[in-house]
Structure 1
Amino acid sequence: MEGVNMNRKKKQEAREKASTRQLMGIEGITSHSLATPHGELVFFMIKPTNISVLSDASIGARIYALMNVLKGISDIEMLCLNSRENFEDNKSYLKARMDAEQNPVIRKLLAQDQTALDRMQVQMATAREFLIIIRLKNEKESDVQPYLSRIEKSLKDQGFTVRKAGESDIKRLLGVYYEQNVTTEVYEDYDGERWVILNE
């Protein structure tokens, strides 16, 4: 029993010393991919289409085009991100404050704040990101770029507006995915990196 406790203690110590990347299961970020223990992930960013203004025939054609892409690529994963801020907690807080507030002037200000949040949320409602993910496993470096170019061409041939995600895109995707951070413009490799002044 003592051996089990020691093993558990060692695992706990290792977890506490692990870096953020290790905890997230990321080995590194390259100029075109996210390296993980389960393969290298390459992201293709697809510009969304507003289907609410399309006819049924046009929507059917878009579905058929996506089906053709999926048939042509064997190992494909898809991801949809809500790339917008979520104001629901703030709106719930404001509603609770309005219900509890006795002063009508304060209550009116709180209602104006809630209206402003509603407007912001409506403006950002279409901010979605759609991604096609290709997981590379033990491919030769010389085969990777032609393979990725073929996939990108296939997507474009089917009428999708697409581009391969770069390093800054991948950092932003991780920020949105893990903490819904859609406001940061530049993601640093290390905390406080922007404050380091070299050669002084």
Structure 2
Amino acid sequence: MEVREIVTKKTEKQQTHEKASTRQLIGARAITDYSLITYGQGELVYFIVKPSNISVLSEASIGARIYALMTVLKGVAEFEMLCLNSRESFEDNKRFLRGRMEREENPMIRNILEKDQTHLDRIQVQMATAREFLIIIRLKEEKESEVFPYLSRIEKSLKEQGFTVKRADGEDIKRILAVYYEQNVTTECFEDYDGERWIILGD
């Protein structure tokens, strides 16, 4: 294969990538009231599990929680589990500040950078337990009439084992994606399309 052919194919691939929409790039085809429909990965339903503070639990209580989770996993083999930050991560910011401090020769500016670093460390400590635990069910060939009874059974099973759980709705899924992809936890209402809030129907 000639070099020219390789360059042409690479260019075509880059053009396809550049023309792809944001949804195509992240693999999210659509968000429904209860699921995320993906490109090629099926339809995903998320259950948000409220975490327990195991630092205040006894060894026996922790063992009971593990056994409860094992019981749930035995009953539903299709479970996938995911742990995400539910707040901003400042690791990139802190890495940048450390690099700047190493290169900075002015002691006054270096002192300011150190104070910024300390401030971010303080915020990080306050949010150390800001984790979100998700149980994912990947819907495959379930009939539409069977989906909600199936999901209700899973939710009931989790609650019977003592877990505080909620099935994520459309807004929850958009928030999860926003935190995962852009660390955005300040927006209260996520738009399906950029500028959607400025559209006035009938205007």
Alpha-carbon RMSD across the aligned residues, in angstroms, is 2.3
1:18 aligns with 2:23: no
> 1:162-193: per-residue Cα shift (whole Å, max 9, x none)?
00000011011112222333333222111122
> 1:65-94: per-residue Cα shift (whole Å, max 9, x none)?
000000000211000002222223333444
The sequence identity of aligned pairs, in percent, is: 69
Aligned to 1:134: 137
Query: Structure 1 length normalisation: TM-score?
Result: 0.87
Cα 1:192–1:60 change in 2 (3 A) is same
1:35 aligns with 2:37: yes
Aligned to 1:62: 65
Cα 1:18–1:103 change in 2 (3 A) is closer
Aligned to 1:52: 55
Cα 1:61–1:7 change in 2 (3 A) is same
SS in 1 for 2:116: helix
- Tell me the distance in 1 between the aligned counterparts of 2:183 and 2:133: 15
Decide which of 188, 191, 194 is 1:188's aligned counterpart: 191
Q: How many corresponding residue pairs?
A: 198
Aligned to 1:158: 161
Aligned to 2:120: 117
Aligned to 1:102: 106
> 1:99-156: per-residue Cα shift (whole Å, max 9, x none)?
635354x555444333322221111111100000000012111100000000000000
Residue identity opposite 2:36 in structure 1:
L
- 1:51 is displaced (CA, Å) by 0.6
Q: Is the 1:43–1:164 contact (alpha carbons within 8 Å) kept by the matching residues of 2?
A: yes
Residue identity opposite 1:19 in structure 2:
S
- Tell me the distance in 1 between the aligned counterparts of 2:21 and 2:107: 49
- Tell me the distance in 2 between the aligned counterparts of 1:15 and 1:113: 37
Aligned to 2:146: 143
Cα 1:152–1:7 change in 2 (3 A) is same
SS in 1 for 2:61: helix
Aligned to 1:175: 178
Residue identity opposite 2:187 in structure 1:
T
SS in 2 for 1:149: helix
- Tell me the distance in 1 between the aligned counterparts of 2:174 and 2:166: 16
Q: Is the 1:84–1:125 contact (alpha carbons within 8 Å) kept by the matching residues of 2?
A: no
SS in 2 for 1:48: coil
- Tell me the distance in 2 between the aligned counterparts of 1:128 and 1:97: 29
Query: Structure 2 length normalisation: TM-score?
Result: 0.86
Cα 1:18–1:109 change in 2 (3 A) is closer
